[in-house]
Amino acid sequence: MGKKIKSAITPTREQDYPGWYQEVVKASDMSENSPVRGCMVIKPWGYAIWENIMNQMDELFKKTGVKNAYFPLFIPLSYLEKEAEHVEGFAKECAVVTHHRLEPDETEGGLKPAGKLAEPLIVRPTSETIIGESMAKWTSSYRDLPILINQWANVVRWEMRTRMFLRTSEFLWQEGHTAHASREEAMERTLQMLDLYAKFVEEQLAMPVIRGRKTPSERFPGADDTTCIEAMMQDKRALQAGTSHFLGQNFAKGSGIKFQNEAGQEEFAWTTSWGTSTRMIGGMIMVHSDDDGLVVPPRVAPAHVVILPIVKKGGDNRPVLENAQRLKDVLEEKVYHGKPVRVEIDSRDIGGARGWDWVKKGIPVRIELGPRDIEQNSVFMARRDRPANAKESMNREDFISQITDILDHIQETLFNRAMAYQKENTFEMDDKNKFRKLFQKAKGYNNGAFVRAHWCGSDDCEALIKKELSVTIRCIPFDSPTEEGQCIYCDKASSRRVLYAKAY
């Protein structure tokens, strides 16, 4: 009675949130640190989640007319320099290739770089400039526009402090790049892709997001406008889950993307770029997982169901193993959102640790199947959205016929839970002292809240808030109405609330 069930992950979220995160990643076997500082090894369980994200997102992109292409990993330094703000924004985190071979080092021994390049090459931190070079070549008339391109690739941004999935020096992403004949069309595309991201993240990753526009100081280097989606993690920090940029004519001018309009006059094109990365997986982990480990929403789960046949050492386990295989076959005939239900069988003879392994991997549904269940035509089911010890016996046929509904219900539960949490922890605030106190006290598991408060529009106020409280303006939410108010920092007049939070 009243016995506290020990959680599978140590430390718990409350004890040490960053430590908990590392343990969840490790215990789920998604990824591990690599010998290369700041880079990670994504293991099959983690990569399968990324594959599911890629496949589904790719389909959505293509429905809007976007086509995939591939551009070089290396960008000549002079390309990056074509847009002044852009090169300045990325200068501090560039990996630079300066040599192209190795030769024996006579003084130090071993090998040393040799064959100095005439022009250094940057390992792409993003590809606006090199894709812009191609777009310039492809565009001569308005008939060549729009160009709608996406690339699935890796990028490198030299980070000093890294955390798996959230911030790594090399990461996987997609970057979309489009060129248009008019400002309106480019702006429309910018918002269309943000909307696509928001829906994807909410529907597939079950992460509710706030859509908005970045302040000028938080814009992508070289963009005229940056829109974003922001999600609340369980420690109440914000995570930017995707961005879509309206680049105006800045990059078109830098790269010379010109076209003749219908009247025969030469004009610069209008471009956009938009991206999401493996960081979304970091967000998914932090939004849904608990003190027992990872929780994966069914829509992106590497597997939906694991069958755990009850095997006996030295016994004849063939009947139960064959029965488990039959159950797997029947379940795999079921279609979940256009794809077969994905089922694993784990017949390892390792006792209770087996069930816990799958809890920690976040698989949506676990099924125990023993001789007695087979005799009674039932299965013993546990759902990852419920406590680990909450198991229920179900009629086998009922389970089979309901599996896709069960998965949908888990998905819905995860989204609703995250949405309720975000709402509970989002406040409108007009009192300066309350604002300050909330964020001064914030640490560990409790990093304050999402606060909707006024901002006068000054870069200085924004910078001071960041410096004093480590709080940033995450975005100016699209749903924030025009209203009279005073800046939460300097009391000057403001016409709109912005979203303040601590962030990853």
Output 11 or 485, the one with its CB closest to Zn ion.
485
For Zn ion, give the closer residue by CB, 247 or 487.
487
Nearer to Zn ion, 66 or 499 (CB): 499
Nearer to Zn ion, 414 or 487 (CB): 487
Q: Does 191 bind Zn ion (CB under 5 A)?
A: no
**CB-based contacts of 286: which residues, under 8 Å, 6+ apart?**
21, 233, 234, 235, 239
Question: Which is nearer to Zn ion, 207 or 488 (by Cβ)?
Answer: 488
Q: How many residues lie near Zn ion (CB under 5 A)?
A: 5
The nearer residue to Zn ion, 345 or 476, going by C-beta atoms, is 476
| Residue of 45, 43, 23 whose CA lies nearest to 292 | 23
Q: Nearer to Zn ion by C-beta: 308 or 498? A: 498
Tokens read off for 79: 């390309």
Tell which residue, 355, 383, 452, 468, has the closest CA to residue 8. Answer: 355
The C-alpha angle 240, 246, 248, rounded to 5 degrees, equals 150
Which stretch in 37-45, 82-90, 432-440, 484-492 sits in contact with Zn ion by CB under 5 A?
A: 484-492
Of the pair 378, 480, the CB lying nearest Zn ion is at: 480
- Report, in Å, the least distance between residue 218 CB and Zn ion: 16
Give me the helices (H) in 293-370, please: 318-332, 352-361
User: How many other C-beta atoms lie within 10 A of the C-beta of residue 80?
Assistant: 24
490, 495, 496, 503: residue in contact with Zn ion (rule CB under 5 A) = 490
CB of 489 to Zn ion, least distance (A): 5
Name the 3-class secondary structure at 409: helix
> Is residue 255 helix, strand or coil?
helix
Which x/- pattern, by CB under 5 A, does the window 316-335 give for Zn ion? --------------------
Q: Which residue in 30, 172, 487, 498 binds Zn ion (CB under 5 A)?
A: 487
Beta carbon of residue 464, minimum distance to Zn ion (angstroms, whole number): 8
Closer by beta carbon to Zn ion, 252 or else 461: 461
| 272: nearest Cα among 362, 345, 180 | 180
Q: Give the end-to-end CA distance of the chain in Å, rounded to a whole number.
A: 40
At its nearest, how many Å lie between Zn ion and the CB of residue 146? 39
Of 456, 469, 475, 501, which one interacts with Zn ion (CB under 5 A)?
456
Write down the least CB distance from residue 488 to Zn ion, Å.
8
Q: Report the nearest approach of Zn ion to the CB of residue 439 (Å).
A: 16
Does 453 bind Zn ion (CB under 5 A)? Our answer is: no
The helix/strand/coil state of 491 is coil
Minimum distance, C-beta of residue 61 to Zn ion, in the bound complex (Å): 39
Which is nearer to Zn ion, 294 or 487 (by Cβ)? Answer: 487
Whether 418 and 376 have beta carbons less than 8 Å apart is answered as no
Contact between 347 and 319 (Cβ < 8 Å): no
Measure the CA–CA gap between 213 and 144, rounded to whole angstroms. 30
What type of residue is 410?
Answer: I
Q: Min. distance of Cβ 495 from Zn ion in angstroms?
A: 12
Within 10 angstroms of residue 217's Cβ, the number of other Cβ atoms is 12
Q: What angle do CA 239, 463, 433 make, to 5 degrees?
A: 85
β-strand pairing of 266-268 with 258-260: antiparallel
Cβ atoms 229, 211 nearer than 8 A: yes
Candidate segments 51-59, 89-97, 407-415, 483-491, binder of Zn ion by CB under 5 A: 483-491
Strand partners, 231: 209, 239
Q: Which stretch binds Zn ion (CB under 5 A): 275-283, 292-300, 457-465, 466-474?
A: 457-465
Query: 3-class SS at 15?
Result: coil
Joined together, the tokens standing for residue 119 give 């022009």
Please choose, out of 112-120, 252-260, 322-330, 489-497, the segment that lies near Zn ion by the rule CB under 5 A.
Answer: 489-497
**Among residues 19 and 485, whose Cβ is nearest to Zn ion?**
485
Within 10 angstroms of residue 107's Cβ, the number of other Cβ atoms is: 5
Q: Stretches 235-243, 245-253, 346-354, 452-460: which one binds Zn ion (CB under 5 A)?
A: 452-460
Asked if residues 457 and 217 have their Cβ atoms less than 8 Å apart, the reply is no
The distance of closest approach from Cβ of residue 502 to Zn ion in the complex, given in angstroms and rounded to an integer, is 19
DSSP single-letter state for residue 442: -
Q: Rule CB under 5 A: say whether 461 interacts with Zn ion.
A: yes
Tokens 């995939």 identify what position?
68
Q: How far is the CB of 465 from Zn ion (least distance, A)?
A: 9
Q: Least CB distance from residue 431 to Zn ion, whole Å? A: 15
Q: Which is nearer to Zn ion, 461 or 475 (CB)?
A: 461
Part in contact with Zn ion (CB under 5 A); list of ranges 73-81, 308-316, 370-378, 456-464: 456-464
Question: Contact at 8 Å (CB) between 213 and 229?
Answer: no
Question: From the CB of residue 14, how many other CB atoms can be counted at a distance below 10 Å?
Answer: 12
| Shortest Å distance, C-beta 215 to Zn ion | 12
The verdict on 489 binding Zn ion (CB under 5 A) reads: yes
- At closest approach, how far in Å is the CB of 457 from Zn ion? 7
| Nearer of residues 324 and 456 to Zn ion, judged by Cβ | 456
Q: How far apart are CA 75 and CA 282, in angstroms?
A: 28
Distance CA 253, CA 204 (A): 38
Distance (Å, whole) CA 295 – CA 220:
32
285 is a site residue for Zn ion (CB under 5 A): no
Binding site for Zn ion (CB under 5 A): 456, 461, 487, 489-490
